[in-house]
Amino acid sequence: MRKITDTQQYPNVDIAVRNFGPIAEATIDLRPLTVFVGPSNTGKTYFSTLVYALHRAFDGFAGFPIPFLKNLRGKITYDLRHSPSEVPPEVHREIRAFFKKLNTKGETFKFSDLPQPVRARLQNFVSERFKHKVQDELKNCFDLNSISALMRLTGEQHNELTVSLKVNEGNQECWNMKARVSESEIVLDASANADMIFTPEGRSISGALLILPSAVDWLERNLYYLPAARSGIMQSHRVIVSSLVQRATRVGVERFPEVPTLSGVISEFMQHIILYEEDKIPNNAMRDIAEALESDVLAGQIRAHPSRSGYPDFRYRPQGVKAEMRLSQASSMVSELAPLVLFLRGLIRPGDTLIIEEPEAHLHPGAQTEMAATLGRLVRAGVRVVVTTHSDWLLKEIGNLIREGSLKENGVVRDKTNKPERWLLPDEVGAWQFHTGEPVEAIQFTNLDGIEPADYEDLAENLYNRSAALHNQLEETGGLTSSEYE
């Protein structure tokens, strides 16, 4: 029996909102693959952007709040070289006892075991830093002057907006945050779990060093967002750059005094494209996924060449053809998927998070099913993926990948190709149905139906009934010829 390998381990992240933009209420836990479905203007992009903003605010979702660690360079430190007159004797004894315990090999400790001055410093840091970081990132990512603009409007009345974040690692709660936003203020509470257990690494140096390995490792993990506007940006990125450079001069500012701004999601995506460089040491797993995507969907290769302007020139080479063409000359499918291929080759690594809006855009139904396979391969390679979609084809193939994973878990191996594995397990996938004015609901996977949103089933039934009724009317009025029955 073939052993099932584990996907990249992540802290468990739960995000809850009330009255957030068009979303009345939602509580969503991020899985290795998280899928948002539902009608337009129900909040799928809002929630995806929130994930992005919170990830940036906390520099990732580590088992221990990363802003502490970035501020302290990956370490919690406390200087014991103060003279006794500067540090009360009882505090000095507490700190020395803690570091003596820390230096005991194999010893674990709780957050509550940290000396009180250290805990106070961290809690104070969390309250001030998180408040400003969350506020700044929400305004940046949603392109707003005030985050009160995110409050859901019911009739003429604004409702208080709340955003909650909980991070668990293993079987223990690590830390949480809750923000309440009204028209006049933002109130943010954040705290670490007093019973959170750490296993320290290393020794104390000058009596003042503690390394938290899971959190330090998380500093190397990144999040990337492929927005719905990526196709147009890929086809015209050099023109956009030229325009931005022109408007950045004093003459440009005088000629264009009302220059609109970009959201943080769009601007960072453009920055990745404009400054793109092929990774000199590519990750083999990401390279293989990119090659499978090019072979199975694009039927060609995406190439990046330097240009005299200093900005990369992206080209498409169809299979079996030596000549290359600009993306503006290729199909919309090519320019839609080119960013994903480029990000796989130059940016994304195992442990990262990738958000993709409508990965099925501009794709034939057959290509949409292949895109589902790409999502499965990313999960297998250790990338956490969040997608928004309207595609029944994509959802049906994700359901098939879960069935395939169940077969593999039972020791049945059917995949004989040399391409990266694409199967999924039920617990690795979370699908969520967004509604207008109603709470977001989880869509349960079943072996019979797969992942089937209720409104998709209703729509299919309505279309069938309408088709049958029209067929009967045509038959009754003689509108169908005998050849149409053959």
Q: For residue 150, is pLDDT > 60?
A: yes
Q: Which residues pair with 158 in a beta bridge?
A: 153
Q: Are residues 281 and 181 in the same domain?
A: no
CB 322 within 8 Å of CB 388: no
Domain membership of residue 298 (yes or no) is yes
Domain membership of residue 379 (yes or no) is no
* Model confidence pLDDT, tens digit, residues 40-59: 999 999 999 999 999 988 87
Question: Three-class SS of residue 150?
Answer: helix
Domain membership of residue 259 (yes or no) is yes
Q: Are residues 213 and 237 in the same domain?
A: no
Q: Are residues 202 and 338 in the same domain?
A: no
Angle, CA of 430, 434 and 436, to the nearest 5°: 170
Lowest mean pLDDT among 239-253, 331-345, 383-397: 239-253
Q: Which residues pair with 326 in a beta bridge?
A: 315
Q: Are residues 211 and 248 in the same domain?
A: no
Q: Are residues 264 and 124 in the same domain?
A: no
Give Dmax over CA atoms of the chain in angstroms: 104
Lowest mean pLDDT among 132-136, 207-211, 287-291, 411-415: 207-211
The 8-class DSSP code of residue 297 comes to I
CB 133 within 8 Å of CB 124: no
Domain membership of residue 378 (yes or no) is no
Q: Exposure string (b/e) for 379-414, b if CB count within 10 Å is 16 or more?
A: bbbbbbbbbbbbbbbbbbbbbbbbebbeebeeeeee
Q: Are residues 185 and 242 in the same domain?
A: no
Query: Once rounded to an integer, what is the mean pLDDT over residues 143-171?
Result: 81
| Domain end call among 164, 188, 218 | 218
Question: Token pair for residue 485?
Answer: 């029955």
Q: Are residues 211 and 102 in the same domain?
A: yes
- Which candidate, 434, 442, 440, places its Cα nearest to that of 42? 434
Domain membership of residue 36 (yes or no) is no
pLDDT computed for residue 398 by the predictor: 97
Domain, as residue range, for 243 = 233-348
Q: For residue 476, is pLDDT > 90?
A: no
Determine the distance from the C-alpha atom of residue 222 to the mean position of all C-alpha atoms in its chain, rounded to a whole number.
Answer: 9
One-letter amino acid of 291: E
Q: Are residues 171 and 270 in the same domain?
A: no
Most confident of 144-148, 250-254, 279-283: 144-148
| Domain end call among 171, 191, 218 | 218
Position with higher pLDDT, 450 vs 254: 450
Q: Are residues 283 and 184 in the same domain?
A: no
The total number of structural domains that make up the chain: 2
Burial class of residue 44, CB neighbours in 10 A (0-12, 13-18, 19+): buried
* Model confidence pLDDT, tens digit, residues 75-99: 344 444 444 444 556 666 666 666 5
pLDDT computed for residue 121 by the predictor: 64
Position with higher pLDDT, 336 vs 460: 336
Position with higher pLDDT, 430 vs 218: 430
Return left, alpha or beta for 320; rule: phi > 0 is left, psi -120 to 50 is alpha, else beta. left
In this structure, how many other beta carbons lie within 10 angstroms of the beta carbon of residue 137? 21
Q: Of all residues in the chain, what percent carry a pLDDT higher than 90? A: 38
Domain membership of residue 460 (yes or no) is no
* Model confidence pLDDT, tens digit, residues 1-13: 334 444 556 788 9
Domain membership of residue 23 (yes or no) is no
Three-state SS across 105-148?
A: CCCCEEHHHCCHHHHHHHHHHHHHHHHHHHHHHHHHHHCCCCHH
| Domain end call among 348, 363, 382 | 348
Alpha-carbon span 380 to 423, nearest angstrom: 7
Alpha-carbon span 274 to 270, nearest angstrom: 6
Beta strands 12-20 and 353-357, pairing class: unpaired
DSSP readout, 47-68? HHHHHHHHHHHTTS--SS-HHH
* Model confidence pLDDT, tens digit, residues 348-358: 999 999 999 99
Q: Are residues 176 and 81 in the same domain?
A: yes
Domain membership of residue 201 (yes or no) is yes
CB 332 within 8 Å of CB 343: no
- Which candidate, 459, 436, 452, 456, places its Cα nearest to that of 26? 436
Q: Are residues 280 and 201 in the same domain?
A: no
Q: Are residues 212 and 148 in the same domain?
A: yes
